[in-house]
Amino acid sequence: MTAAFDEDVKACAALVHKADPDRFLAAMAAPVAARAVLFPIYALNVEVARAPWVTQEPMIAEMRLQWWRDALQEIAQGPTVRRHEVVTPLSQVLSPHLAGMLDEYVAVRRWDIYRDPFEDQEHFDAYINHSSGALLVAAAQSLGAADEDVLRDFGYGVGVANWFRAIPELEARGRIPLLDGRPEGVRVLAETALARLARARSNRSGVSDEARPALYLGWQAEWILKRVTAQPDRVAAGALAQSEVRRRLSLMWTAATGRW
């Protein structure tokens, strides 16, 4: 899908640049035409991800998430969509189907509002699939043809890697982010995520050249997951950041070769 790089998209890019530097870099590694599609979707991610954390009142946080669900419903149903610097450009890049899919992405973020732990592995997997997975499907399929199963596998691997990086802050905020926080439990989760990444990569042909730039956002995932597998204690220590040189060079390699 084509989109104009207008003032709204520029505002989305500025929002992503400030709040999510990794996704900003990944989008900037994409062709210009793809950036105009990716930035509104990544800006939605910024707005939804922070909605549960900007208030201590659960009801207000619920209302913030519901606002985005209502906006996505407007995009899915059309033709009238509320005027907003993120919603307006989103309406120009999302199909009704993908707008509906992103409703599951917003809905699952209700977990962030409360302090209840995940019920079981199925609950945790659903959270990753509906958050990281749904966002990746929407981004990739807005650009071009891409097999959803491949995207869900890749999204799971990327989502778990990002989750590991977020754990120190989640714990500081009183959340219980893992079912099994022991080193062996952390290692098993990392190995599962690596296996999902590998399965996605074995089916690369299912992602078209046009959709490929949406997968650049996972350029650090394998590096993170391998280090967690080798040293699970890195998660609690918050020791999963790449050096700035490695971070940028590895993204350049991903974009240049297209081997996500």
Clarify whether residues 109 and 134 are in a common domain.
no
- Contacts of 3-10 with C-beta under 8 Å, sequence gap 24+, read 3/33, 3/36, 3/37, 3/40, 3/89, 3/92, 3/93, 4/36, 4/92, 5/32, 5/35, 5/36, 6/89, 8/40, 8/85, 8/86, 8/88, 8/89, 9/35, 9/36, 9/39, 9/40, 9/89
Clarify whether residues 84 and 205 are in a common domain.
no
Clarify whether residues 26 and 59 are in a common domain.
yes
Per DSSP, the three-state class of 236 is: helix
Clarify whether residues 4 and 104 are in a common domain.
yes
CB-based contact 43:92 (threshold 8 Å): no
User: 112-135 burial string, b = 16+ CB within 10 Å, else e?
Assistant: bbeeeebeeeeebbbbbbbbbbbb
Q: Domain containing 1: what range?
A: 1-114
Clarify whether residues 81 and 126 are in a common domain.
no
pTM over 0.85: yes
Last residue of a domain, one of 98, 114, 130: 114
Clarify whether residues 108 and 143 are in a common domain.
no
Q: What pLDDT, on a 0 to 100 scale, did the predictor assign at position 46?
A: 98
Clarify whether residues 254 and 130 are in a common domain.
yes
Clarify whether residues 134 and 215 are in a common domain.
yes
Last residue of a domain, one of 84, 114, 144: 114
How many domains in the chain?
Answer: 2
Clarify whether residues 74 and 127 are in a common domain.
no
- Give the length of the chain: 260
- Taking the chain (260 residues) in runs of 10, the rounded mean pLDDT of each run is 82 98 97 97 97 93 97 94 96 96 95 96 97 98 98 98 97 95 97 98 98 98 98 97 95 95
Q: What pLDDT, on a 0 to 100 scale, did the predictor assign at position 5?
A: 82
Last residue of a domain, one of 86, 114, 142: 114
Clarify whether residues 123 and 110 are in a common domain.
no
Q: What pLDDT, on a 0 to 100 scale, did the predictor assign at position 1?
A: 56
Clarify whether residues 89 and 211 are in a common domain.
no
Cα dihedral 193/196/202/208 (nearest 10)? -100
Clarify whether residues 105 and 183 are in a common domain.
no
